[in-house]
Amino acid sequence: MPSSAAYNSLFIPVDESFLTELSRIVGRDGMIRDQSDLLTYESDALVHLRSTPGAVVLPKSTEEVQAVVRLCRRSAVPFVARGNGTGLSGGALPVKDGILIGLSRMNRILKIDIPNLRAVVEPGVTNLSITREVAPFGCYYAPDPSSQVVCSIGGNIAENSGGAHCLKYGFTVHHVLGVEAVLPDGELVHLGGAVLDKPGLDLLGVLVGSEGTLAIVTKATVRLLRRAEKVMLLLAGFPSIDAAGEAVSSIIAGGIVPAAVEMMDRLTIEAAEAAVHPNFPKTDAVLIVELDGPASEVDELFAEVERICQTCGATTIEVAHDQAQRDRIWKGRKAAFAAMGRVSPNYYVQDGVVPRTRLPEVLRRIRDLESRSGLRIGNVFHAGDGNLHPLICYDEAIPGQAEHAEKVAAEILSYCVEAGGAITGEHGVGVDKKGYMPKMFAADDLDTMQLVRCAFDPTGICNPGKVFPTPRLCGEVPGPYREHPVERAGLAERF
């Protein structure tokens, strides 16, 4: 398999005339070339992968994005779109010497239509700002990734972001109704829209979650939801992960679909306690269960959830009686990642999914791995949908331990795949996990996905080197065969 570096080196490096033209499009204040300023854009939140772009542009309009992309296409220069850089899989890692298109200046909320529960936003708008804007009308935007204060809607669309409440409410793909997008040849398309059921192929369904490899979204129409009449939340302590897991299974088996079910183990409880003092019980596991909906339904089902927790051996149950209490409990959960810094100098965040019924078995394997590897592993996860976030603690000052942690993280992914799960539930494949894709998908599966890529981006300049383990060239359809330089160099197969 060719390395990304070898693949990237086959793109034409940017030259001065290209850069001059680029600055004409976005203006001098819309372009960054200074090496020290470029450092900011060398990585996303997966900071150990870095690459310096030839230039960063910060367009302010769809027209500027189109012009930049057209120029890149004409000059065979690869480009990568970037939101606010909170991605955890290197999806916005620049191509060395390519162009990074930062969308943070396109950050306007263009329209709010409360009667139809729609909002039209630019890609740089942050996730939480939509909710803030519509809250006075009793509405909110449902996907709530942990980074929602800073992450952008454009990035959410690229990664099909979820959050703690996607068990009941779904992912970004269920809440984005339409987009305006710039294709890799600079053409503008409108997929979906404010009205449902636009005739034609559901290209929006495949664009969402394509990790910026198909197009650059320049506007999005999102669905808003009405705030539920009632929200109830409890925090239950359990003597073991297994007991907490049993409670989750019983809730689901009881026909209850909570808005959120989150679980934390002893290590992450300790870390959260040290960081934000949520006053969680000092037990082996805590479960956070949130129910929302009409009061008539929530009251009845919540009593049932409480009963199930007691039956499954909960040692403590705290029912939140007001928003302040709910906020405190959620703060403890949402702080879990960052809080690991309190108990370990470094940690590696993994993201894998297992079928809920296989959770106990996979968690046992992780515990065995913990004792074998000598590295502490904290577990915090979206228990309702089997999305695990093991936090592997290490000390980079100890030679070899960072690499060891990475291997441990990789082994956990293989447990997920063996249990019938997925290598990523919400962080994306990006560069980080593309090498694991063959664990989950056969070559024919990946080739079929690349058919879509070839239709959108036949020249392969839109965020190349991401998602797929093997770069592919797209035979033009129709047209005579021409050998591509990448192919001649033996670095990619024609598809």
Partner 1 sequence: MPQVIEPVDATGVAAALSQSSADGRGVIVRGAGTKFSPPPSDVILSTARMTEGVDHVAGDLVATLPAGISLDAANDILRREGQWLPLDPPRSHHATIGGIVATNDSGPRRHRYGGPRDLIIGIEIALVDGRVAKAGGRVVKNVAGYDLSKLMCGSHGTLAVVTRATFKLSPVAPFSRTLVATGSDVRRLSTLALTIANAPPLAPTAIELQSPPHGLLVRFETTEAAAAAQVKIAAGLCEQFGATPHVVFGQAESDAWRAHEARVFGTPGVVLKIAVLPTDVGDMLAIIERLSSAAAVVCELSGRAALGILLLKISGDHSAYSSIVAELRREASARGGSAVILSAGSGDPMTTVDRWGPLGDAQPLMQAVKARFDPQHLLNAGLTPWD
Q: Which of residues 208-237 bind partner 1 (CB under 8 A)?
A: 208-210, 226-229
418 contacts partner 1 (rule: CB under 8 A): no
Site for partner 1 in 315-374 (CB under 8 A): 353-357
Contacts with partner 1, 74-113, as mask; x by CB under 8 A: ---------------------------------------x
| DSSP string across 417-468 | HHTT-BS-SSS--TTTTGGGHHHHS-HHHHHHHHHHHHHH-TT--BSTTSS-
Answer for which of 70, 418, 452, 484 binds partner 1 (CB under 8 A) is: 452
**Which of 34, 37, 202, 368 touches partner 1 (CB under 8 A)?**
202
Question: Residue 32 or residue 248: which is nearer to partner 1 going by CB?
Answer: 248
CA distance 356 to 361: 10
Out of 82, 96, 328, 453, point to the residue binding partner 1 (CB under 8 A).
Answer: 453
Sequence-ordered alpha helix ranges (H) in 84-126:
none
Interaction of residue 115 with partner 1, rule CB under 8 A? yes
Closer CB to partner 1, 216 or 271, in the complex: 216
Window 371-390: residues binding partner 1 (CB under 8 A): 382, 385-387
Region near partner 1 per CB under 8 A, out of 8-16, 39-47, 73-81, 158-166: 158-166
- Among the listed residues 242, 327, 395, 447, the single contact to partner 1 using CB under 8 A: 447
Considering only 52, 112, 170, 341, the residue that binds partner 1 (CB under 8 A) is 170
Distance, CA of 44 to CA of 41 (rounded, Å): 7
Binding test (CB under 8 A) with partner 1, winner from 47, 195, 319, 398? 195
Residues within window 233-272 making contact with partner 1, judged by CB under 8 A: 249, 252-253, 255-257
Exposed / middle / buried, residue 425 (Cβ in 10 Å: 0-12, 13-18, 19+): buried
Overall size of the chain counted in residues:
495
Closest separation between CB of residue 364 and partner 1, Å?
A: 17
Q: Are 172 and 208 in contact (CB under 8 A)?
A: yes
**Rounded to the nearest 5 degrees, what angle is found at the Cα of 211, between the Cα atoms of 484 and 160?**
155
Footprint of partner 1 on residues 2-61 (CB under 8 A)?
none
Rounded alpha-carbon distances, angstroms, from residue 134 to 111, 227, 291, 306, 437:
11, 10, 22, 33, 39
C-alpha angle 33-38-39 in degrees, rounded to nearest 5:
160
Q: Is the separation of the CB atoms in 57 and 30 below 8 Å?
A: yes
How many positions of this chain bind partner 1 (CB under 8 A)?
Answer: 93
Q: Is residue 420 close enough to count as binding partner 1 by CB under 8 A?
A: yes
Distance CA 175, CA 427 (A): 18
3-class SS of residue 148 = coil
| Cα–Cα–Cα angle for 473, 475, 479, rounded to 5 degrees | 150
Nearer to partner 1, 2 or 355 (CB): 355
What's the rounded Cα separation, in Å, for the pair 406 and 417?
A: 17
d(CA 93, CA 84): 12
Query: Does 146 interact with partner 1 (rule: CB under 8 A)?
Result: no
Cβ distance to partner 1 smaller for residue 353 or 462:
353
Q: How far is the CB of 450 from partner 1 (least distance, A)?
A: 9
Angle, alpha carbons 372-378-382 (nearest 5°): 125
Residue number with CB closer to partner 1 (181 or 375): 181
Q: How far apart, in whole angstroms, are the C-alpha atoms of residue 289 and residue 259?
A: 8
In angstroms, what is the minimal distance from the CB of 300 to partner 1? 5
What x-and-dash track marks residues 275-314 binding partner 1 by CB under 8 A?
------------------xxxxx--xx-------------
* Contact flag: residue 481 with partner 1 (CB under 8 A): no
